[in-house]
């Protein structure tokens, strides 16, 4: 699950697919909202990493997901 190219037109997965895979991983690992948010932050790189680092620290997974999809979905 690579976010290096999310939103630059060369990404392998569309943001919706990436989120779906990430949520599947979170569910399989039985992560809490806090753990899901922490792992999401850890995986951010490239444009997605820059986007996330410019955000106020978000903890609630549903808010992070909503803002991520708003930013990177076509």
Q: What's the predicted TM-score (pTM) here?
A: 0.79
Helix, strand, coil in percent for the chain, rounding step 5: 60, 0, 40
Q: Would you place residue 62 in the very low, low, confident or very high pLDDT band (cuts 50, 70, 90)?
A: very high
List the structure tokens of 37.
Answer: 């948010």
Q: Would you place residue 11 in the very low, low, confident or very high pLDDT band (cuts 50, 70, 90)?
A: low
Extents of the domains making up the chain: 15-73
Q: What pLDDT does residue 22 have?
A: 92
Q: What pLDDT does residue 73 have?
A: 85
């Amino acid at each position: 699950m690579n976010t290096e190219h999310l939103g630059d037109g060369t990404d392998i997965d569309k943001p919706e697919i990436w989120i779906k895979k990430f949520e599947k991983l979170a569910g399989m690992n039985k992560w809490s909202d806090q753990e899901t948010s922490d792992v999401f932050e850890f995986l951010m790189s490239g444009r997605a990493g820059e986007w996330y680092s410019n955000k106020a620290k978000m903890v609630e997974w549903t808010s992070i997901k909503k803002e991520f999809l708003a930013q990177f979905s076509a």
